[in-house]
A and B are shown apart, each in its own frame.
Chain A
Amino acid sequence: MTLPENELRLSDAETGAPMVVIGLDDRAGLPDLQTRLRELGFMEGEPVCVLRRGQPGGEPLAVRIGASTFALRRIEAACVRVAARHGA
């Protein structure tokens, strides 16, 4: 699925760049992931930022959402659609 021009997947977001959650996608093989991400605060309009990435391979991602930090694998972060947050 291609994304609108200004959107990207959280897994592709630049480390340290302030983003905002646009929406969540379902993903085959990961049932309930969307619900769980929502419960943890990945809601439309919420500021989000990739704090750092593990090595090698840029995985896993440490993601700041609200006041919390979560570790996600790339495949999980790819379910979150984000856009750059301006004025942050």
Chain B
Amino acid sequence: MSALPIDSSRLAPPMLALVGNPNCGKTALFNLLTGSHQKVANYAGVTVERKEGWLRTPAGRRLAVLDLPGTYSLAPNSPDEQVTCDVLAGRLPGERRPDLVLAVVDATQLARQLRLVLGLRRLGLPLVVVLNMTDIARARGVDVDVEALSRALGVPVVSTVAVRGGGADALFSLLDAALPSAPPAASAGSVADDYRQVKDILTTLGLDRVPAHAFTDRADRVLLHPLVGPLLLFALLFLIFQAVFAWAEAPMGWIESATALLGDAVGRVLPDGLLRSLLADGLIAGLGGVLVFLPQIVILFFFILVLEESGYLPRAAFLLDRLMGGVGLSGRAFIPLLSSFACAIPGIMATRTIQNPRDRWVTIMIAPLMTCSARLPVYALLIGAFIPARRVAGGLELQGLVLFALYLAGIVSAVLVAWLLKRLGSKDRQHTLLMELPDYHWPSLRNLAIGLWQRVLIFLQRVGGIILALTVLLWFLASFPGAPADFAGAPIEYSFAGRLGHFLLPLFEPIGFNWQIAVALVPGMAAREVAVSALGTVYALSATADDTAQALVPLIVAGWSLPTALSLLAWYVFAPQCLSTLATVRRETGGWSAPLLMAGYLFALAYAASFVTYRIALACCP
């Protein structure tokens, strides 16, 4: 840090802030404005996602753009909304106050969204209203007179179609003009006054009767049907898990061949020795074993993003609300829990939309039981190795079926744990839902692509960061100290890792794990998928020097019994925790009791489930 006082406001580009209701197309507009120039992080001190990007105007000015969390009003109801209000007021430490507010308004939902605009107008910041989704509005017979609306509101209004390239041209050229002068700051008005004012404006513009979205109503008649709706939801989830296996097959093959080729090349080029061992056994075998699951993670995220973008996710929450209510959860808990299928960390962060503190606590506690994508590599490895790839019961893939069953096992246990926590908890609380069911719309390819790219980047950063570091560490532990020449077993058994594995063996032997698995479980604490790369490294080093970087699957098929594989699968349904999840829980709950309780109960469940699975499997197929 420089000691000289520098006026950073002169150096930093002007900051635009996007503000709007949830589901107003704000993120699509953010994507259109900034393209790939985005950075996703957290606000200092709170775990609210902070999305910043930058854009260059036609005249070449560089502007910073901040995508603030969606809010229905400037009277915050949740930590997310609090961030939006604090940033706009210039109250959030470490954030500068935006120079220009872009109020994003869904043209089909003018009444509700213009009330937020009236609130924003009182902030005393320069304000531009961005009328979004004007194409959809026009198709429904809502043609907004932009000039008249601008006159009525007293601020500039531009119309955009955020899901179409070039849809924000009017906004871009407006950004080159001088900043509009700020409307005078005023204290908060009453909800009733704002309501009347917006109603008057809309009546004057002839926009006070907006027809409902006919397609949404027709679709909901089926999708929210009390009987058909849940069946369709279940079928949809089932299809997703089938696709994760079926579609990923080819690209996974390519990645595997590439890894093998690379391992061979390194083996040929480098002389036998430590460097070759580090590269071939440690890095290529370890990282290749994790990278191979990228296609499956991409497919899973693709479906989650499509469901999110299309507006179906809140419908799923609607359908499951009774079920969730039965075990003492809010229907709102569905969205955090579904996000937890990708990763428990964003899922736990998403619980901030649940107002009731106890509901939120229960949701956090069961979030890790949703099978996160980091477990997918482990499942995929074991299923691929031990479950035959054949079709059963009318063309269903057995492997996909087993995967579905594992996900289901996680869900069922989450329901049981939530039910138990409800029985133990107090009775005097009210559960709320109050959730918008937005109109359906086609997900835009650009938003899907940007969303997927961000997820892929996060995965690759993990592979390149924590997984790389742990793989090298494990290679070191598994290679040193070197075995003396007269040592009978594989050299790894003499190493630190081998000794650790043998030390842990008495604990894991009753559930069918061998010492190699015990070794792999330790780094698997840091990130679950590391267990796969760890197994890759452990087995590569256990093998004789000639067949390094060999595929893991034939090695474990030869080395493990079916009960052991099933037991490890059961273990990973509960998979005691990755450390980053525990750290997030600590931050979100503000104490150590929740993360410690979570780690303890998951470990107990995992051990019990593995024990039962192993014993039953032993009895059935000795």
The chain A residues found within 8 Å of chain B, CB to CB, are: 27, 29-30, 32-33, 35-41, 43, 51-57, 59-60, 62, 64, 66-73, 75-76
Contacts and interface: CB of A to CB of B under 8 A. Distances in A.
B322 A69 contact: no
B398 interface: no
Contacts of B75: 35, 39
18 contacts: A29-B430, A32-B77, A36-B77, A38-B192, A39-B75, A41-B195, A52-B224, A54-B319, A54-B321, A54-B322, A55-B227, A62-B437, A67-B110, A67-B210, A71-B435, A72-B434, A73-B434, A76-B432
A64 B212 contact: yes
B490 to A, nearest CB: 59
A59 B77 CA distance: 24
Contact of A66 (B111, B319, B430): B111
Contacts of B432: 30, 33, 73, 75-76
Contacts of A35: 75, 191
Contacts of B435: 70-71
Listed from nearest, the 10 A-B pairs whose CB atoms lie closest are A55-B226, A29-B430, A69-B437, A67-B210, A39-B73, A73-B433, A38-B191, A60-B321, A71-B435, A71-B318
A40 B112 contact: yes
Contact of B191 (A39, A52, A72, A76): A39
Given A39-B115, A69-B436, A75-B430, A62 B321 contact: no
A59 B431 CA distance: 12
B268 interface: no
Contacts of B108: 67
B109 interface: yes
A43 B195 contact: yes
B317 interface: yes
Contact of B331 (A52, A64, A71): A71
A32 B75 CA distance: 10
Contacts of B109: 66-68
B238 interface: no
A70 B243 CA distance: 32
Interface in B31-83: 72-73, 75, 77
A51 B211 CA distance: 15
A55 B322 contact: yes
B10 interface: no
Contacts of A53: 226
A53 B428 CA distance: 25
A45 to B, nearest CB: 9
Given A54-B321, A71-B433, A72-B433, A40 B314 contact: no
Interface string B195-218: 100000000000000111000110
B510 to A, nearest CB: 43
A32 B81 CA distance: 15
**B: contact size bracket:** 35 or more
A54 B195 contact: no
B220 interface: yes
B393 to A, nearest CB: 29
A4 to B, nearest CB: 22
B106 to A, nearest CB: 9
B479 to A, nearest CB: 57
Given A72-B434, A75-B430, A43 B192 contact: yes
Contacts of A52: 220-221, 224
B429 interface: yes
A74 to B, nearest CB: 10
A60 B433 contact: yes
Contacts of B111: 41, 66-67
Nearest to A65: B112
B318 A62 contact: yes
A75 B435 CA distance: 14
B72 A62 contact: no
A10 B314 CA distance: 21
B192 to A, nearest CB: 7
Contacts of A32: 77
A70 B317 CA distance: 12
Contacts of B156: none
A69 B318 CA distance: 12
Contacts of B428: 29
Contacts of A62: 220, 224, 318, 437
Given A54-B321, A55-B322, A36 B434 contact: yes
Contacts of A30: 430, 432
B325 interface: yes
B437 A71 contact: yes
Given A30-B430, A60-B433, 19 more contacts: A29-B429, A33-B432, A36-B434, A39-B72, A39-B73, A52-B224, A54-B321, A60-B322, A62-B318, A67-B108, A67-B212, A70-B434, A71-B433, A71-B434, A71-B436, A72-B434, A73-B321, A73-B325, A76-B434
Contacts of A59: 321-322, 325
B96 to A, nearest CB: 28
A66 B112 contact: yes
Contact of A41 (B112, B317, B319): B112
Interface string B327-363: 0000100000000000000000000000000000000
Nearest to B332: A71
A71 B430 CA distance: 16
B120 to A, nearest CB: 14
A68 B436 contact: yes
Nearest to A30: B430
B436 A70 contact: yes
Contacts of A67: 108-112, 210-212
Given A29-B428, A59-B322, A66-B112, A54 B226 contact: yes
B22 to A, nearest CB: 11
B513 to A, nearest CB: 43
Nearest to B319: A54
Contacts of B434: 33, 36-37, 40, 70-73, 76
Contacts of B72: 36, 39-40
Given A38-B191, A76-B434, A68 B112 contact: yes
Nearest to B321: A60
